[in-house]
Structure formats: structure tokens, C-alpha cells
Homo-oligomer: A and B are copies of this chain.
Amino acid sequence: MKKIILVKLGGSLITKKGEPFTEKPGTIRRLVGEIKNVRGKSNTSLIIGHGGGSYPHVPAIKYKTNEGILNEESFDGIARVQDAAARLNRVVVGEFLKSKVNAVSLNPSSFMISDNGRVEKSFLAPLYMLLEYNMLPVVYGDVCLDTRKGCTILSTEQILSHLAEKLNDKFRIEKIIYCGITDGVYDAEGKRTKKITQSNISLIRERLKGSAGIDVTGGMLHKVQEALSVSGKLGIEVQIINGRKKGNLEKATSGVNVEATRIIG
């Protein structure tokens, strides 16, 4: 049974905060290099998902796309958020291609439909074939048409959870890695929480509530909840690691321990 690791590259990691439509090419290139190294020495397949960061941030906030279709302008929002997310995706995939990694985009708004903010239906035949071909599927946080509220924004985390759950019958899902800009989840004293499980989640949730809303899909609290949920369903571990530190992604993906918050649902 083929093994799969799903990796999220955080939007804040690959784009410049406060600078709309500005990526960090050096960081993207380094992360692509780390992913390429792992692919070269492991027979585990990877699925990459990346956040949108400063690309779709402005239109997503302006049009409140995550809240659904609120008024006539919401349709502008769907188009502009999709375009912004897809533009960053081309940058990321472009870096993979420059490094001779066969990355192929799967555009969530083209193959997913949601119901009240959660993925309801998806078309996964292309993904299965890409995995069979040992190619590198790349998804990303995207706008999604929603049968209940009209439209929504799917976080990369949710998309990866959905894919992991769907692929779980044919593949062995090893783990999910959220590669962001912190060593994991910090507590009130700025100390890293090493492990999040059902036994300490209510504490964590209470504390993280303040940070919700720093990104349109709910910040660290959303990440932790999404991670705990998929971890519990599939019996896998989700790791939140710091992608700013060189080599961290490569290590974590190769099974080497790095500073992280491990989430076990």
C-alpha cells in the first residue's frame, strides 16, 4: 500500500505579510528544494497544499467571501479571490517546474463543491492518477462554490483533511504536516505546546480564540481543530512545524523529529 504524506506550506510562510500579491521567491525555492530531496530518497508520495497569504487576503477580506453570497458584490469576490489564489499557485508550481519536479495543479474551485463551508463533493480521479504516476499534486486554499451559503473559502487544511480522508481506503496516510512560521502552538508564556490531544484541547481552544480572525479561515485555532479532527478520524498525527528553519520540512517529511506541536486526536 502506497504511503502518503500531505504537506501544507503556509500562506504566511510563502508570501510577504502586508504586501498584497508579493511572494517570497527565495523561501519558496528553498522549500521546493527540500521537497525535491525527500522525493528523491523516499518512496512515500507527497501531496502539497499551499495557503494564499497576501495574495487572496485583500479580496477575501473586502468581499467577506468566507461568509457566503451577501450581496451583488459577492460575485466579484468569488472571481477575484479565485484569481488571486490561482496566481500564487502558478508561482509555486513554477518554482517546482524550475527545479524539475513534476508538479501539477489541482484547482479546488474546479473540482470541489462545499455545503455550508465544508467540502461536500469532489472529483478525485485526476489526483488518483497523479499519485499513480508518482507526480506531485499541488492544491491550495481557494474559493469554493457552496450549495448552502453560495460561496466559501476552503482553507488548505480543510482541503488536505478531505483528501486524506478520501484517500485513506487506497493508501496509507502517514501524517499531515502544517509547515508555517512558528515552531508550533505557543502557550500564554510563549512556550511551545508539544502535544495537543483531546485531553488538553479545551484549554488550547480557549487560549487561541483571541488569535482567530488573523486570517480569513480562522488562524491557528482553525488549524488545531482541523488537525485534531482529521487526526482522530484517521488515527494519524498532524505536525505543526516551522518552515522558516532551513531543513525542517525535509526532516519532518523524512521522519526525523523537529521542534513541533504534535496533534493526536
Min CB–CB distance A149 → chain B (angstroms): 12
Whether B103 and A125, one on each chain, are in contact in the complex, defined by CB atoms closer than 8 angstroms, is: no
Range, interface on chain A: 35 or more
Interface residues of A in 101-144 (CB under 8 A from B): 102-107, 109-113, 121-123, 125-126, 129-130, 133-135
Contact of A82 among B82, B83, B104 (CB under 8 A): B104
**A113 proximity list for chain B (CB < 8 A):** 125-126, 129
Task: Say yes or no for A86: interface residue by CB 8 A criterion.
Answer: yes
Task: Say yes or no for A244: interface residue by CB 8 A criterion.
Answer: no
| Residue from the set A102, A123, A134, A147 with the largest chain B CB neighbour count within 10 Å | A123
Given contacts A87-B90, A113-B126, is CB(A105)–CB(B107) below 8 Å? yes
Q: How many copies does the complex hold?
A: 2
Given contacts A110-B110, A129-B113, is CB(A78)–CB(B102) below 8 Å? yes
| 28 residue pairs from A and B, CB less than 8 Å apart | A75-B133, A75-B134, A75-B135, A78-B102, A78-B104, A79-B96, A79-B103, A79-B104, A80-B97, A82-B105, A83-B90, A83-B93, A83-B105, A86-B105, A87-B90, A90-B90, A107-B107, A107-B110, A110-B111, A111-B111, A111-B126, A112-B126, A113-B126, A121-B125, A122-B123, A123-B123, A125-B145, A129-B147
Given contacts A75-B133, A87-B90, 17 further A-B contacts (CB under 8 A): A69-B133, A78-B102, A78-B104, A79-B96, A79-B97, A79-B135, A90-B90, A104-B109, A106-B110, A107-B110, A109-B126, A110-B111, A110-B123, A110-B126, A111-B126, A125-B145, A130-B145
